[in-house]
C-alpha cells in the first residue's frame, strides 16, 4: 500500500469520533404517574372516655403529648363516692356487731340445750340469725368493693399508645360517664390518598408509589418509595380513598399534606440514557447515527434514564 494512502487512512481513523456507547431506540410502556397530595393520618384514633361522672381534678396531658397504653390522662373525683363508702363502712360495722351478738346467742342456746334448759327450736333460730348476719356482712363487703372500684375508675387511662391529638375538657370541668376526655392517634401513621374515581380501576393493594419531600421541610429531600396498603371499597364524593405505607412518618403532623406520585395506567414512551443527552446553549441534543445531532425535548426521569418526548423515533440509533 502506498505511503500516502496509509497516512490518509490513519488520519481518518484519528479524526473519527470514539463512541462510548450506542443504543437502538425502542418504544416501551411506562407508568403514567399522577401527582396528588396525600395527608398524614393515623391508622386508628382511640378515645379516652370518662368511666364515672364527676369533676376533673387533675389533667396530665396536652395536645401533642406522647402517651403509653394504660398511662393516666386525667383524674375525675366524685364526692358522693366517698360518702357512699363511709356509709358502707358504718353499715358493715353494725352488721359485724349483730353477727357477734348472734354468735353469742347461738353458743348460749347450745349450752342451755346441753343442760336441758332450752329447746332445739331456739338453737335453730339462733343459728339462722347467725347465718343471716354472716351473709349480710358478705353483701356489705361486696358493695364496699364495688364502691372502691368505682372510685378507682375516676382515673382516665390511655386506651392505647400514641400522640394526643385533642383534649376535650379543661381542669375543673364537670363530666358525665362516657364523655370523651381526649383523642389519641395511634403510633402507626399512613398517607391517605383521595383520587378521582376514574383511577379506581388502576389502584390496588401492593402498588408502589413515589413519596415526595414534605411541604413543611426546610431542605430538599429525595423521593421515597411507598406501598399502597389498603384501598377502601367505598367511593366518597367521587373519589376513591387509599392508604399508603411509608417509613419515617412518626414526626409528621397529623393532617400534613405530602406530594405523592401514583401510577394511573400505562403509556408508550422512549427512554434513553442520561449520558446520551448533551446541552448546548440551553438546548438538549442527541447524536443519532446517520442523522447527526438532533434536538430533543426531555420529559420526566425514569429508573434507567430519561424520557424523550419528541425528536426521536423507534429504530433510531443513539450514540454517545
Q: Is the pLDDT confidence value at 2 over 60? A: no
Residue 14 has pLDDT above 80, yes or no: no
Residue 251 and residue 204 share a domain: yes
State how far Cα 279 lies from the chain centre.
46
Spatial separation of the C-alpha atoms in residues 258 and 38, rounded to whole Å: 5
181 and 197 belong to one structural domain: no
* Range 134-139 average pLDDT: 89
What pLDDT, on the 0 to 100 scale, is given for residue 5?
A: 42
Tell whether 60 and 158 lie within a shared domain: yes
Q: Which residues contact 246 (CB under 8 A, 6 or more apart)?
A: 190, 191, 211, 224, 225, 226, 227
**Which CATH number goes with the domain that contains 245?**
2.40.30.170
Q: pLDDT tens across 251-270, in order?
A: 788 888 888 888 877 888 88
In-domain check, residue 89:
yes
Residue 8 lies in a domain: no
What is the predicted pLDDT for the residue at 202? 82
Domain containing residue 293: 17-31+269-319
Query: Do the domain assignments include residue 63?
Result: yes
DSSP secondary structure of 43-106:
S-EEEEE-SS-EEEEEE---TT-EE-TT-EEEEEE-HHHHHHHHHHHHHHHHHHHHHHHHHHHH
One domain, residues 69 and 197: no
> Which residues does residue 180 pair with via DSSP β-bridges, in sequence order?
49
Is residue 4 in a domain? Answer: no
- Does a structural domain hold residue 1? no
Between β-strands 305-310 and 317-319, what pairing exists: parallel, antiparallel or unpaired? unpaired
Whether 291 maps to a domain, the answer reads yes
Instruction: Kindly report the CATH number assigned to the domain that includes residue 61.
Output: 2.40.50.100
Same structural domain for residues 67 and 178? Answer: yes
Pair (93, 113) in one structural domain: yes
Same-domain check for residues 193 and 240: yes
| In a shared domain, residues 57 and 24 | no
Q: Are residues 193 and 259 in the same domain?
A: yes
Asked whether residue 166 falls in the same domain as residue 273, the answer is: no
Lowest mean pLDDT among 10-14, 84-88, 128-132, 249-253: 10-14
pTM of the model: 0.56
**The predicted structure's pLDDT at residue 7:** 39
Average pLDDT score over the chain: 82
**pLDDT tens digits, residue range 20-61?**
678 888 888 887 778 888 888 888 888 999 988 888 888 889
pLDDT at 221 over 70: no
Q: Is residue 114 situated within a structural domain?
A: yes
Q: What is the pLDDT of residue 216?
A: 60
| Helix 120-152 / helix 79-115 crossing angle, nearest 10 deg | 160
Domains of the chain: total: 4
| CATH number of the domain residue 22 falls in | 2.40.420.20
For 267-319, write each residue's pLDDT tens digit: 888 888 888 898 888 899 999 888 888 899 888 777 788 889 888 888 888 88
Same domain, 111 and 196: no
Residue-level pLDDT at 1: 45
Contact yes or no for 260/211 (Cβ under 8 A): yes
Q: Are 129 and 250 contained in the same domain?
A: no
> What is the pLDDT at residue 15?
40
Within 10 angstroms of residue 73's Cβ, the number of other Cβ atoms is: 21
* Tens digit of each residue's pLDDT (9 = 90 or more) over 199-217: 888 888 888 888 887 766 5
**Is 5 inside any structural domain?**
no
Amino acid at each position: 500500500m502506498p505511503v500516502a494512502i496509509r497516512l490518509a487512512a490513519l488520519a481518518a481513523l484519528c479524526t473519527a469520533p470514539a463512541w462510548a456507547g450506542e443504543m437502538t431506540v425502542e418504544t416501551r410502556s411506562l407508568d403514567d404517574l399522577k401527582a396528588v397530595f396525600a395527608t398524614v393520618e393515623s391508622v386508628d384514633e382511640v378515645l379516652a372516655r370518662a368511666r364515672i361522672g364527676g369533676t376533673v381534678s387533675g389533667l396530665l396531658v396536652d395536645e401533642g403529648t406522647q402517651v403509653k397504653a394504660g398511662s393516666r390522662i386525667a383524674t375525675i373525683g366524685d364526692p358522693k363516692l366517698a360518702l357512699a363508702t363511709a356509709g358502707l363502712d358504718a353499715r358493715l360495722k353494725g352488721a359485724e356487731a349483730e353477727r357477734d351478738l348472734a354468735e353469742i346467742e347461738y353458743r348460749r342456746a347450745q349450752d342451755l340445750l346441753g343442760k336441758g334448759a332450752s329447746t332445739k327450736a331456739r338453737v335453730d333460730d339462733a343459728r339462722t340469725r347467725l347465718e343471716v348476719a354472716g351473709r349480710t356482712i358478705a353483701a356489705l363487703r361486696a358493695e364496699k368493693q364495688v364502691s372502691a372500684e368505682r372510685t378507682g375508675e375516676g382515673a382516665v387511662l390511655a386506651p392505647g399508645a400514641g400522640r394526643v391529638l385533642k383534649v376535650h375538657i379543661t381542669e375543673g370541668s364537670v363530666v358525665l360517664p362516657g364523655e370523651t376526655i381526649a383523642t389519641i392517634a395511634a403510633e402507626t401513621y399512613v398517607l391517605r390518598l383521595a383520587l378521582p374515581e376514574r383511577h379506581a380501576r388502576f389502584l390496588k393493594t401492593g402498588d408502589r408509589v413515589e413519596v415526595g419531600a414534605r411541604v413543611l421541610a426546610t431542605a430538599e429531600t429525595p423521593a421515597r418509595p411507598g406501598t399502597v396498603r389498603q384501598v377502601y371499597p367505598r367511593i366518597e364524593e367521587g373519589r376513591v380513598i387509599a392508604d399508603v405505607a411509608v417509613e419515617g412518618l412518626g414526626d409528621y403532623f397529623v393532617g400534613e399534606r405530602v406530594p405523592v406520585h401514583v401510577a394511573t395506567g400505562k403509556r408508550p414512551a422512549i427512554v434513553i440514557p442520561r449520558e446520551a443527552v448533551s446541552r448546548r446553549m440551553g438546548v438538549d441534543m442527541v447524536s443519532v447515527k446517520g442523522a447527526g445531532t438532533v434536538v430533543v425535548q426531555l420529559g420526566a426521569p425514569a429508573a434507567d434514564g430519561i424520557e424523550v418526548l419528541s425528536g426521536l423515533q423507534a429504530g433510531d440509533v443513539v450514540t454517545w
